[in-house]
Amino acid sequence: MITSLGINTVDPTVIDLVRDTERTDDDLVLSVIGCGYLGAVHAASMAALGHTVVGVDVDQSKITALGQARPPLYEPRLADLLADGLGSGRLRFAGDPAAVRRATVHFLCVGTPQQPGGVAADLRHLDAAVTALLPYLKSGDLVVGKSTVPVGTAARLRARIQAVEPAAELAWNPEFLREGHAVADTLAPDRLVYGVPGGPTGTAAADLLNRIYAKAVADGTPVIITDYATAELTKAAANAFLATKISFINAMADLCDATGGDVVQLADALGHDRRIGRQFLGAGLGFGGGCLPKDIRAFLARAEELGAGSSLGFLREVDAINLHRRARLVELALDACGGLPAGRRIAVLGAAFKPGSDDIRDSPALDVAERLASFGADVVITDPRAVDRVAETRPQLRVTRSLDEAVRGAELILLLTEWPEYVALNPVALSKVVDRAVIIDGRNALDPARWRAAGWSYRGLGRAGS
């Protein structure tokens, strides 16, 4: 069957990939290149939608784990989706780039980290993924970029692709998923953005993406069909806006500390204004993770290359405010130790960059824990999901899976990732196992009055008036 893009949807030879008897002739064969956070979720979700999917990654250990339905990361529902997809025969994983041969749509999901020693995005993985894909591209294939990239990347990659296979096309379909909700966000996104070139192949590319995401489209998900630059900028702008909102409320937290105000009440009061909204007005230790910090830096670096740096100069301040949160928390912790942290037992609750995830990339919690450990404090870190990752990557830090072990005998508790189980802690019971009832609530997630009533010395960030 030929689509308007001239795409062969199911090559008869792929039948070995498709054991599902419910398959129809309209099934698509997709490849997902790069099976990390984004790609593993995308591959499993596309298989759940009924497509035949091969996931490819250069990391053989990841491929082996995914092939056994073991996700490389914690994400609700992902293990079930992997098991279903693998069991149905619609999903498989491979380390060999040749495995994409039978697919007609290729999703690029590789990492675009911060350049080592720089701030711009490092596109080496993306370029290597395209290089590996080129020998297998066929007339009518569609390559779909999902990674977060500097504006201009899609146009450059299209030229590379069409130099080798002029009848292949490229679309840019940025991903907006939230870690911890990644499967739900992939299956039912807030919106779909397709950056496509002008002309009939661009229209055909958008039609094909609508077929791939047919369920979301039928459910009324807004679809924005635009040019490459707007699609690339949408993702960068979304992250810049969210980062700015967080740093804005953190700047207000400093004002609250200077004036005796309470930033949580301030955020509530602001959030009732429908033009502002309460989301992303959580003052505290600030943002981290594998996206926002590197994405705002890459956005600014790209704007500077384009001669538009002054328009985004505020992102430098957004970044600085955010990083200063970590220094501020360390300052409060040192203060709570009377300026003498060496040998003091500090329990750090949370290592993931946010609750609901085991991702520790650029985790503010871990940064604070490491700084305090470097001062000689006896830091013990616990987290419901991320302990193994911390142990693997930072063997010098003390970790425990047991909350009880982390807090027993502690002289200072730092709540640094607001996992529900930490927010629900009973201050009375906790006060009986610690050495000193002193807590710094780095996420402003606790009720100060309740903790103080239980005999705790409580500090939040921007809660001088609480």
Q: Which residues bind ligand NAD (CB under 6 A)?
A: 33-39, 56-59, 62, 109-112, 125, 128-129, 132, 147-148, 175, 177, 179, 290-291
Shortest distance (Å) from residue 388 CB to ligand NAD: 16
| Among the listed residues 107, 111, 135, 109, the one whose alpha carbon sits nearest the alpha carbon of residue 123 | 111
| Among the listed residues 186, 182, 213, 201, the one whose alpha carbon sits nearest the alpha carbon of residue 28 | 213
Token pair in block for residue 209: 């993406």
- The one-letter code for the residue type at 86 is L
Shortest distance (Å) from residue 373 CB to ligand NAD: 26
Q: Considering the complex, state which of residue 130 and residue 368 has its C-beta at the smaller distance from ligand NAD.
A: 130
| Active site (catalytic) residues | 291
Q: Which residue is nearest to ligand NAD (CB)?
A: 36
142: β partners:
105, 169
Shortest distance (Å) from residue 38 CB to ligand NAD: 3
Shortest distance (Å) from residue 385 CB to ligand NAD: 15
**Distance in angstroms between the alpha carbons of the first and the last residue of the chain:** 66
Cα–Cα distance, 212 to 208 (Å, whole number): 6
Q: How many CA atoms lie within 13 A of 114 on its CB side?
A: 19
Shortest distance (Å) from residue 147 CB to ligand NAD: 3
Shortest distance (Å) from residue 148 CB to ligand NAD: 4
Q: Considering the complex, state which of residue 5 and residue 130 has its C-beta at the smaller distance from ligand NAD.
A: 130
Give start and end residues of each alpha helix (H) in 198-260. Answer: 200-212, 214-218, 228-259
Shortest distance (Å) from residue 337 CB to ligand NAD: 35
Q: Considering the complex, state which of residue 121 and residue 285 has its C-beta at the smaller distance from ligand NAD.
A: 121
Cα–Cα distance, 223 to 214 (Å, whole number): 11
Q: Considering the complex, state which of residue 134 and residue 464 has its C-beta at the smaller distance from ligand NAD.
A: 134
Angle at 302 between CA 300 and CA 304, to 5 degrees: 70
Answer whether 154's CB lies under 8 Å from 170's CB.
yes
Length of the chain: 466
**Residue showing tokens 């991702």:** 359
Answer whether 377's CB lies under 8 Å from 346's CB.
yes
| Order of strands, sheet of 378-382, starting from the edge strand that comes earlier in the sequence | 398-400, 378-382, 345-349, 412-415, 438-441, 457-459
Q: Considering the complex, state which of residue 64 and residue 265 has its C-beta at the smaller distance from ligand NAD.
A: 64
Q: Which helix (H) or strand (E) holds 191?
A: none
Q: Considering the complex, state which of residue 8 and residue 115 has its C-beta at the smaller distance from ligand NAD.
A: 115
Q: What are the backbone angles phi and psi of residue 195, rounded to the nearest 5°?
A: -90, 120
Cα–Cα distance, 77 to 82 (Å, whole number): 9
Q: Considering the complex, state which of residue 110 and residue 246 has its C-beta at the smaller distance from ligand NAD.
A: 110
Cα–Cα distance, 186 to 176 (Å, whole number): 8
Q: Considering the complex, state which of residue 282 and residue 290 has its C-beta at the smaller distance from ligand NAD.
A: 290
CA distances from 196 to 145, 218, 303 (A): 11, 21, 22
Q: Considering the complex, state which of residue 128 and residue 251 has its C-beta at the smaller distance from ligand NAD.
A: 128
Token pair in block for residue 332: 């409060």
Answer whether 106's CB lies under 8 Å from 31's CB.
yes
Answer whether 441's CB lies under 8 Å from 452's CB.
no
Shortest distance (Å) from residue 325 CB to ligand NAD: 21
Shortest distance (Å) from residue 110 CB to ligand NAD: 4
Q: How many CA atoms lie within 13 A of 264 on its CB side?
A: 15
Token pair in block for residue 247: 């740093």
